[in-house]
Chains A and B, each alone.
Chain A
Amino acid sequence: MKMMKRKRWAALILVLLMGIGALSSCGGNNKETKEKDSTPAQTADTSDSSGEVVTLKWIQVGTGMPANYDAWLAQINPYLEEKIGVNVEMEIVPWADWDTRRSVIVNAGDEFDILFTDQVRYNSEVNTGAILDITDLVKDATPDLYSMIPEDYWKAASINEKVYAVPTYKDSSATMYFVWDKEIADKYSVDIESIQSYDDLYTGLKAIKDGEGTAPYYMSKSGANFLISYFDQLGAGLPSLGIKYDDESKTVVNPMEDEEILKQLDIVHKMYQENIINGDAPQSDDENKYKTFFTAQGWSGAAATVWGPNNGIDDCVAVKYGDTVVSNTSVRGSLNTISSGCKNPEKALQLLELVNTDSKVRDLLYYGVEGENFEYTSDGKVTRLNFDWEMAGYTQGTFFNVTQLAEDEFNQWDEVKELNADAVPSVMLGFDMDTSSVETELANCRAVYEKYKDEFWTGAQNPRELIETVKSELDAAGWEKIREEAQAQVDAAK
């Protein structure tokens, strides 16, 4: 009995301890996190009376938080403090978590100052009210920033004529390329420079297929969907709705029905059936493996710097296909927005201005820690010491003030500038549709598009037949209603 009594008390104490443990774990964290809060990297709550240093929080996507983050802060913060009285705190969200974390950060009201975004989310984030309107602010507070980016890009980044983001001035126009393994092409006497349409492509690739036996054209599940990039999607986020970039009459159509596109897809379908395109195209991801031929967006210099090395092609040549188009979509590939709850918007803009104009700041963001990740050479260029830097350069600011790499013989950014300058602007540049009245139909139409897009763009099914199915399902999902609404808004804006 005595034994039982003691054990009984033991059990009771155990239960009480559990309770206390559960409670204190919640309370105890207050202490823990409060300590963390008082470390140098403070949130934007710190007072901003003139003269005091303001800490800005910038959220970007990348591989992850850099291992040498503290060393990096030690290099960049003093410089920033000196120039504009600002300290920066970065949060680099890994690619993998980007979708979930963003949704949470934006919707849950987490504090941040600058947030990287892209065309997929920009429109809806502005509509929910999470982003600050900087139309006037950017012209008043940071005139240098405003003038260095062309008018067209500001237009493309605006919604309802208000500017909500600072676009990243880089390869903001879209150019498509046919990328070849020149060695194999030469072997079969294929004149790659002259191939400018899928018809010509077919003849050339067939020769290679007959000779080599394997499928030369590698397609991932995105297939030939770049063909649709010549249509402006009006910010609705539905690829089967748009206006052709050079259509002066501004008629809203379903790009998938466009005769030009269907003609090209007929050939794609033929290539798929004859095994010139890899049979698992509709399921394939874009992998780095050897490809004799593929399509990609970028600039021709990338053949030597990126496409070739990534895919194991020794002699890689890219041939331009079609026009270079600048549209809302192409510009919005990289945008930096300011939170509508930001307490120091001028300072935030000033930071962005500095990043886009000052090479030292730009290099630190792009390459990493000086001395650990990169070094300056004697003639003012940069050599990379390792490839570990986890931040993604394209999310931060323009490429044009990034110091060139010592090993680059030519400045590939020059070519990008040229492409940008030659770009044909879409007739709908700067226009975004207000989708609030058709959200339901849009959701269901998107579901239909998602259902068929892989097999449509890779030619796995006959496009002429498939488009009929797609059309009827889109109609049933309310596509006509969206089209009417879009056309009405487009006409009203003329």
Chain B
Amino acid sequence: MNEGKVKVHKAKKRKRWSKSDSQLTIMVLPTTIWYALFCFLPMFGLIIAFKDYRITGGESFIYNIIHSEWAGFKNFEFLIKSNDLFVILRNTIVYNLIFIVLGTIFAVSLAIMINLLFNKRRSKVYQTLMFFPYFMSWVVVAYFLSAFINVDKGLINNIIQDTGGTPVQWYMKAAVWPFILVFMYLWKSTGYNMVIYLASITSIDQTLYEAAVIDGANKKQQTRYITLPSLKNVIIMMFILNVGKIFYSDFGLFYQLSKGAKGSIFDAVATIDTYVFNALKSSTPIGMTSAATFFQSVACCITILIANAIVKKIDADSAII
């Protein structure tokens, strides 16, 4: 009897506005108000990318925007025409892809490992320690990196000199920087990234494991056939979310660690964000910065929609939109 009723409900699900819908709508009202005030209202600022912003004394911001002339795509020119466009696009996207793939592998592996350790107290200590890098600002981390690779006083060069070699100017050697950057990214964010996977692992239904044991599965098989598939949704969700930021880069990571992302290591380190910062930092006009961000936004929008669509084709439930 119950089964029948449930089926009928499902067939009617989109036809009528139900009480259920009203309840849910009321539930999301507060959050929607938040979005309206803090996200959608300021969105008129996107126009600035297309205008030549001028100020008339004593008038409000909105007045100024409305009365500024349209600039078409002029503000975007500097980015599009830049000779370094290929380099910065390539760096931004490739680094992000590496971060996403390696970051996920590391975070998931460590999460599973920590979850399996005998001594629960010790694993909690490990987790706490792994979180420390998240709280260090990139500036402080840059100090620390400098203590290692500084040409005069750094630890590594000291060792090289003690063993008879010539010290190397690491801040001018492009080849090592991809490794440094990837390593530092993993170091700083694995602890943080792990959290979601840890939370998900603990939500997995224990009876599944118990059943598997009875069926004679060993731990490796259990991990492969229970843990990982249960994490599938979360992994895919994180993947799509991160892909949605693929044209953005962590400014602190790329700029502070490399001391400016310039000179000999530019080709290995510069990203869209560091380039825009360097190009525009000595001028006030807000049109160009706005245009650069708009460009990144649109690019990210396209990528995330594509990624979501691909995922939907493979497994409709995992898509986030």
Chain A interface (Cβ within 8 Å of chain B)?
A: 15, 18-19, 21-23, 26, 99, 103, 106-109, 120-121, 124-125, 128-130, 132, 215, 221, 237, 278-280, 282-283, 339-343, 439-444, 446-447, 450-455, 460-461, 473, 476-478
Contacts and interface: CB of A to CB of B under 8 A. Distances in A.
Interface string B139-170: 00000001000111100000000000001010
18 contacts: A109-B61, A124-B284, A128-B53, A282-B171, A282-B172, A283-B150, A340-B56, A444-B81, A444-B279, A446-B280, A447-B82, A447-B279, A450-B260, A450-B279, A454-B262, A454-B263, A455-B263, A460-B263
Contact of B278 (A279, A341, A447, A461): A447
B130 interface: no
Contacts of B266: 451
B278 A340 contact: no
B59 interface: yes
A283 B57 CA distance: 42
Given A99-B281, A451-B263, A453-B262, 16 more contacts: A21-B30, A23-B33, A103-B284, A107-B55, A128-B53, A279-B169, A282-B171, A282-B263, A283-B260, A340-B55, A440-B78, A443-B283, A443-B288, A446-B278, A446-B282, A461-B264
B26 interface: yes
Contact of B171 (A23, A99, A283, A343): A283
Contacts of A130: 55, 57
A22 B30 CA distance: 7
Nearest to A110: B61
A441 B57 CA distance: 29
Contacts of B288: 439, 443
Nearest to B289: A103
B283 A19 contact: no
Interface string B275-305: 1001111111110100000000000000000
A310 B61 CA distance: 44
B200 to A, nearest CB: 26
Given A18-B30, A341-B59, A454-B263, A460 B169 contact: yes
Contacts of A339: 57-58
Contacts of B39: none
Interface size class of B (residues with CB under 8 A): 35 or more
Given A279-B151, A443-B279, A107 B172 contact: no
A451 B83 contact: no
Contacts of A109: 55, 59-61, 64
Contacts of B54: 128-129
B293 to A, nearest CB: 14
Which of B152, B263, B285 has the most chain A CB within a 10 Å cutoff? B263
Nearest to A436: B52
B34 A440 contact: no
A449 B150 CA distance: 24
Contact of A452 (B30, B262, B282, B286): B262
B176 to A, nearest CB: 15
A339 B57 CA distance: 7
Interface of A is mostly: helix
B219 interface: no
Given A103-B286, A121-B284, A279 B57 contact: no
Interface in B160-214: 167, 169, 171-172
A440 B169 contact: no
Contacts of A215: 152
A74 B153 CA distance: 52
A48 B243 CA distance: 57
A363 to B, nearest CB: 33
Contacts of B57: 129-130, 132, 339-342
A278 B154 CA distance: 13
B77 interface: yes
B27 interface: yes
Contacts of A108: 61
Contacts of A132: 57
B30 A107 contact: no
A77 B50 CA distance: 45
B33 A19 contact: yes
List 7 tightest A-B contacts by C-beta distance, closest first: A340-B57, A341-B58, A447-B279, A124-B284, A443-B78, A279-B151, A341-B57
Contacts of B34: 22
Contacts of A455: 172, 262-264
B152 A129 contact: no
Interface in B249-267: 259-260, 262-264, 266
Given A106-B55, A129-B57, A477-B82, A279 B280 contact: no
Nearest to B261: A451
A442 to B, nearest CB: 8
Contacts of B151: 279-280
A45 to B, nearest CB: 11
B37 interface: yes
A280 B278 contact: no
Given A109-B60, A339-B57, A451-B266, A26 B37 contact: yes
Nearest to B258: A283
Contacts of A124: 283-285
B29 interface: yes
Contact of B150 (A121, A221, A280): A280
A473 to B, nearest CB: 6
A446 B275 CA distance: 10
B74 interface: yes
B37 A444 contact: no
A440 B266 CA distance: 21
A221 B282 CA distance: 18
B61 A450 contact: no
